[in-house]
Structure 1
Amino acid sequence: MSGIRILEVAEHTFVPAAAGILADWGAEVIKVEHVERGDAMRGLGTTAGIPVGAGGVNILLEHANRGKRSIGLDLTRPEGLDVLHKLVATCDVFLTNKLPAVRTKLHIDVDDIRAHNPDIVYVRGTGYGSHGPDIDQGGYDSLAYWARAGNALSVKPPEIDYVPNQPAPALGDSIGAMFIAGGISAALLHRERTGEAKVVDVSLLATGMWAMSAAIGMGLQTGVEWGQLLYSMGGPKNPLVGNFRTSDDKWLSFSMLQGFAYWPDMCRVLGHPEWIDDPRFGDAQTLFENGEEARALVAGVLASKPSAYWQVELRKQRGQWAPIQTTLEVAEDPMAEANGYVLEAQSSAGTPFKLVTTPVQFDDEPCPPGRSPDFNEHGDDILRELGLDEDAIIALKIAGAVA
């Protein structure tokens, strides 16, 4: 993405993380922040109890704002808006998560921006979409992606009387950000091929529905809600699909979809070759019919030894499985280490910390993450690049238009 210049008027995680991905891919990203407080994410360490690590590193801020430049602008002032318009004229992409009413108030909607650069790709990241009754309703990923899109209820077992919360901060935001980054890339290619600049829309609701698309489709096909369909199937028919506890209270996940094809290998690995000729499990049909009984046998053996033992033994058979890991364990997973899925970065204060890299790699190399900018760290430099002299910059500061 080298040579692509992106102007971001957004905060929190969903939309900023998309620009962060593109920054890791080589784009230049200018982040426009509120003239006084900056991105709201900067204050969440104190206002919302978001954990801040050693050296004051705010991982959520770093995750979404890697590799950017920052300028503080007051877009409610004509002078600040004029600076924005000057920046628009120099950029390939304008990216925002502001609600429609706010975009209108700030004069940053599609027509406003394209009046200063008709060739710019205009990108909106929203909670619920750009049409319909709730377009002016704010939506975090815990609401639009997790709750409203059907994810939350679909993972609720019937025996519990509460709905599970989203399992990680910025889960839907991070997934949606990849769609925005992909949409921007496609729009830039379209502009290069046709000369036409597109408007790109991605919502958290659409992202959540896409993540649930197979389950939604099955529900529409059967007329049964996925959560009910899932738990109405009764016990597992395939004994080699599911999660199994080991003796050290860890878990292994099996996904051997053609269960009978892997059954002989598994019987040998588990130390029970006699199960291969057991008439209860003699062919695919009988194994399916006696799946609960077979699963109980498998679970009993797996529960007799620790996870580390089974992770060695299971490599001796062909079926698909994985350890169920914590976030700390996956960060040290040998495959994550070998592929550079977690790399070290450094804060503006020089504090080292680790970040997960973007999933896309080019030429077998991970994209090393840049650091998040300090608030308005590059403000004066950006203004000078627009041709403003020191007197003009001071005048803007006195007027409160820039930080």
Structure 2
Amino acid sequence: MLLKGLKVVEFASYIAGPGAACILGDWGAEVIKVERPGGDSMRHVFADLKADLGSNPTFEFDNRGKRAIVLDIARPEGRDALARLAAQADVFLTNVRPASLKRSGLDDVTLRAANPRLVYAVITGYGLEGPDAHKPGFDVTAFWARSGVANMTAPKGMDPFMLRTGVGDHTTSLATVSAILAALYERAQTGVGRLVQTSLLATGVYTVGSDLAVQLRFGRLASNRRRDNPINAVANFYKSADGRWFIHNPRGGTADWPLFAQVAGRPDLVDDERFATGKDRRANAALLTVEFDQAFAALPFAEIAGRLDEADMVWAPVQTPAEVVADPQVAASGALVQVEDGQGGTFLSPAAPARFPGADIDRRPAAPTLGQHTREVLGEIGYGPAEIEAMFSAGAAG
């Protein structure tokens, strides 16, 4: 386990923060999840799912392998316990609003004064500075809408649509892990930790950075197009006779154009004057799409796939979630991991998106129940049995 011995205190809720802590935990770190009374909101967002099916996979995914404690930072005893945890940690990871943390004496300046080696990582919607730094943000607002991703994703003339659960959050989780590891590397040189911060907004901007680089350089950007009116008909989605979609992405230059026409069973298109040059194919991309639509609609998917592979084309099937989890290449890529179910069995869950040959994990512990490890963790940081019971009686721990 690459991060064995690294102690992470997670004081976060929802997805981006817990997701980052989960990745660190998957890679060997010890993660202590601190929740307020009532627990992480994600325990309850899909509570009906857990009631109906016996589990909450969305929460379990981001919280596997952690130890969970409950502290009420509205009470001095709870604040003191969280500060004591941070004093013994390598990383303090939070997405609680900075103003709230400062009022509670849990801000980065205070905690790093007590523990100069602490890497204090804070995730926000919009950053720590600027006129909107104080605003709350979710991935669908800060990452998806405000960063421009939603606008650039919807084809021209189409209404905006919602983002799937946690896409912007989990992208920000990856950014946060990167920032934490960079700060830990610096600490190895200097012996001193630092504040690091990520935001859903900045992650969204970076995610569409290739397009925004064009906007920044030239002051304008082409809109996304509908499938029936593409910029390049060779770079498009098509459907087989048996109703399966696939996408082809040509390499640079024009070498893939005649190969793709051959795959479609229409080599004659190469000599068609409407498509003779790259400029002609761009001007008549809608017409060329119609030709390819008709050609592929006459071929079964298996035959199309065989032809594309034989020609060494860059393509992929458009898979349903059920097809993804059954795809042997998904498993072979290390994209799934077994998680204990707490009843002696396991279930599959998405894995952290990196592999370390020779040090891969094949199983992770289950997500903790609310407050499952409170007494255990408080004892480890120096609280005696009587003190722990007093905290429970006062409502400062649970």
TM-score, scaled relative to structure 1: 0.91
Q: Does 2:160 match 1:163?
A: yes
Alpha-carbon RMSD: 2.4
- Unaligned runs of at least 5 residues, structure 2: none
**Equivalent residue of 1:354, what SS?**
strand
Question: In the alignment, does 2:27 pair up with 1:30?
Answer: no
**Match of 1:194?**
190
Equivalent of 1:102, from 83, 94, 100? 100
Question: Separation in 2 of the partners of 1:260 and 1:86?
Answer: 63
Mark the CA change 1:285 to 1:142 in structure 2 (over 3 Å): closer, same or farther. Answer: closer
Q: What SS does the corresponding residue of 1:355 show, helix, strand or coil?
A: strand
**8 Å contact kept, 2:225–2:231:** no
Q: CA deviation at 1:93?
A: 0.7
Paired amino acid for 1:4: L
Partner residue in 1 for 2:66: 68
Distance, in Å, in 2 between the alignment partners of 1:16 and 1:152 is: 24
Runs of at least 5 residues in structure 1 that lack an aligned partner in the other structure: none
Q: Distance in 1 between matches of 2:52 and 2:346?
A: 9
Shift of 1:311: 1.9
- Equivalent residue runs for 1:13-162 within 5 Å: 13-34=15-36, 36-46=37-47, 51-52=49-50, 56-160=54-158, 162=159
Report matched runs for 1:262-281 at 5 Å: 262-281=256-275
Contact 2:68 / 2:370 at 8 angstroms: preserved in 1?
yes
CA-CA distance at 1:314 after TM superposition: 1.5
Work out the CA distance in 1 between the residues paired with 2:316 and 2:376.
49
Give the C-alpha shift of residue 296 in structure 1: 2.5
**Identical columns (%):** 34
Displacement of 1:58 in angstroms is 0.9
**Counterparts of 2:341 and 2:59, CA distance in 1:** 11
The answer (yes or no) to whether the contact 1:127–1:205 under 8 Å persists in 2 is yes
Alpha-carbon distance between aligned partners in 1 of 2:75 and 2:213, rounded to the nearest angstrom: 48
Secondary structure of 2:289 counterpart:
helix
More displaced stretch, 354-363 vs 304-313: 304-313
> What code does the residue aligned with 2:351 have?
T
Q: Which residue of 2 aligns with 1:363?
A: 357
Secondary structure of 2:46's match? helix
Inter-CA distance 55–353: structure 2 relative to 1 (3 Å threshold) = farther
Q: CA deviation at 1:349?
A: 4.6
Q: 1:177 aligns with which of 149, 169, 173?
A: 173
Letter of the 1:356 counterpart: P
Map 1:178-257 → 2, pairs under 5 A:
178-224=174-220, 226=221, 229-231=223-225, 235-257=229-251
- How many Å separate the matches in 1 of 2:11 and 2:99? 15
The Cα of 1:306 is off from its aligned counterpart by: 3.3
8 Å CA contact retained: 2:18, 2:62: yes
Question: Separation in 2 of the partners of 1:140 and 1:287?
Answer: 41
1: CA distance, partners of 2:381 / 2:279: 72
Matched, 1:299 2:289: no
Q: Give 2:375's match in structure 1, choosing from 355, 376, 380.
A: 380
Deviations 1:329-348 (A, max 9, x none): 11222210222312321233
Measure, in 2, the Cα distance between the counterparts of 1:195 and 1:385: 24
Residue 314 of structure 2, aligned match among 300, 304, 320: 320
Q: Structure 1 pair 185/156, CA: closer, same or farther in 2 (3 Å)?
A: same
Contact 2:33 2:69 in 1 (8 A): yes
Q: 1:250 to 1:52 in 2, by over 3 A?
A: farther
Question: Structure 1: which amino acid aligns with 2:177?
Answer: A
The corresponding residue for 1:391 is 386
Question: Contact 2:231 / 2:282 at 8 angstroms: preserved in 1?
Answer: yes
What is the TM-score with the length of structure 2 in the denominator? 0.92
Residue-by-residue CA offset, 1:344-398 (whole Å, 9 max, x unaligned):
2123355643211011111166444442111111111111212322222112211
Distance in 2 between residues matched to 1:251 and 1:259, nearest whole Å: 25
Deviation at 1:32, TM superposition (A): 0.7
Q: Is the 8 Å Cα contact of residues 71 and 376 (structure 1) preserved in structure 2?
A: yes
Code of the aligned partner of 1:94: F
Between 75-84 and 124-133, the greater mean CA deviation after superposition: 75-84
